[in-house]
Amino acid sequence: MKPENYEDPDIRAAFEWLISYMSAEHWATRRDRIEKSIANALNSSPFESAELSEMHRLSIDNDVIGWYLYLMDMLLNDIAKYEPVQGSRAASVFFAVGKELEIVKGIRGIENKVKRLLKNEKAQADSIFFEILTAVTWVKNGWKVNFIAEVPNEKSPDLLAERQGEEWFIECKRLSGSEYGKNERIKWLKMLSYINVALLTFDMVLDIVFHVELNSLDDRFLEKELKAKLPFIKEEGIIFSNEIWDVSVSFVDFDVIDEHLEKFFVKEFSPQVQYLIAGKKEFSSGFACGILGQYVHYGQGAAIGRYITRIDKAYGAYWQCDAPKAIDSKAKDIKRQLKSAVEQFPDGRNAAIHVGIETVDGPQVEKLRFDKIFKTIGDFNPGNKHLRRIYCNFFQSYAPPEICWVIDETSNWHSVDLDGKNFPLKRKFIILPEEASDEESLHWLRPQP
């Protein structure tokens, strides 16, 4: 049975508002192009022949807004082809925009901003959505806000907020994942590719914590250390624990899988697959898996709408790295963003910086990042710019098997001028409703959904 489409009036309102800026024919063509691109990426890297490091992440990097619109279109109208992990990131943003759509439409300059997003700045969707939602936050705090038109070869901030003769210039910065983290993942998949068939043979699930940087290890490290031992492992438990790594082994529970698949088909590449193979929900560690089984397809995009109906063989592998240098390299600071932001402000005018950060690298990295940011802001010298507030909003989206999407947010602000007065924002959350937020805790330290 084909799964039922998801329905959320706020997500639909945001989706329909954005696609109203293009013709139906244009969106249909763009949607088909995105679908073919994803299908080609999947078909070019079959599990049986490709190294895992060469497998493509499901995304469209040169048309991020098109990819987000595609995901929301599938979520609402053809959910069989929806990709839940990337979709959870987009859904939370569309929900926030749709919930306050009348405010969004009333922001001066919004139409030009959306047109640039859909045409000339397609890869900047995360940054532009962050600007829009920052503007909404200021409006909800009682300010009149407009986007400042960009002038070639002139520096200017993103937003101007006005209230009762008072003005604030606002610059928004959105951080993406670290290059170190991306390269670390590629290295891991390269290493795993040398033992994936062996793991599949024995239906094993690995849980690895590296204590050294992955780039210090040979590509064939897993093969040399594990492959010959795998046939002799008959019981679950720890098989290595030393200064290089800790390794635990368990086995795929096919009774659980069969019981689930008797009632439900499972979307390929979904968190439900991870849960069935590994038997737990764990979002702070990396995870890779392989499956041999049977599938059924829904819709015209066969490669995208593929569901698992039976699993004959499977393996899974969790991994993380707690080497101090690796943690430090992934805990990106905001010093560069602050320096770039203050250059956009006019001299002597009230200024605020908003920084949006995704917390995707686990509690150890995020704790260190938070400490780094606190120190950087304390040491930061804005020069002759009247920088008075820095707001940091941390986000993490999830796609648990039983819920379509979940968003966590932590908001933290810093006074730069040390006067302790003039608080322009009482409501500081960008995505979460204020009443649903927890201002006293850091979400990466709370239990995951």
Residue 375: predicted pLDDT: 93
What is the Cα Rg of the chain in Å? 24
Going by C-alpha positions, the residue among 291, 52, 283 that lies closest to residue 186 is 52
Residue 421: predicted pLDDT: 61
DSSP character for 238? Answer: E
Residue 390: predicted pLDDT: 94
Rounded CA gap, 149 and 120, in Å? 15
Residue 299: predicted pLDDT: 66
Residue 58: predicted pLDDT: 61
Q: Is the Cβ–Cβ distance between 414 and 367 less than 8 Å?
A: no
Residue 437: predicted pLDDT: 59
Going by C-alpha positions, the residue among 352, 353, 370 that lies closest to residue 361 is 370
Is residue 274 classed exposed, middle or buried when 0-12, 13-18 and 19+ CB atoms within 10 A define those classes? buried
Residue 94: predicted pLDDT: 97
Tokens for 98, please give them.
């749709």
User: How do the pLDDT tens digits run along the chain, 449 residues long?
Assistant: 566 788 999 999 999 999 999 999 999 999 989 888 887 776 654 444 334 444 445 667 789 999 999 999 999 998 888 889 889 999 999 999 999 999 999 999 999 999 999 999 999 999 999 999 999 999 999 999 999 998 888 899 999 999 999 999 999 999 887 899 999 999 999 999 999 999 999 999 999 999 999 999 999 999 999 999 999 999 999 999 999 999 999 999 999 999 999 999 898 888 899 999 998 877 778 899 999 999 888 766 556 778 899 999 999 999 999 999 999 999 989 999 999 999 999 998 999 999 999 998 889 999 999 999 999 998 999 988 999 999 999 999 988 888 889 999 998 888 876 555 667 898 889 998 766 656 567 888 777 76
Rounded CA gap, 27 and 70, in Å? 9
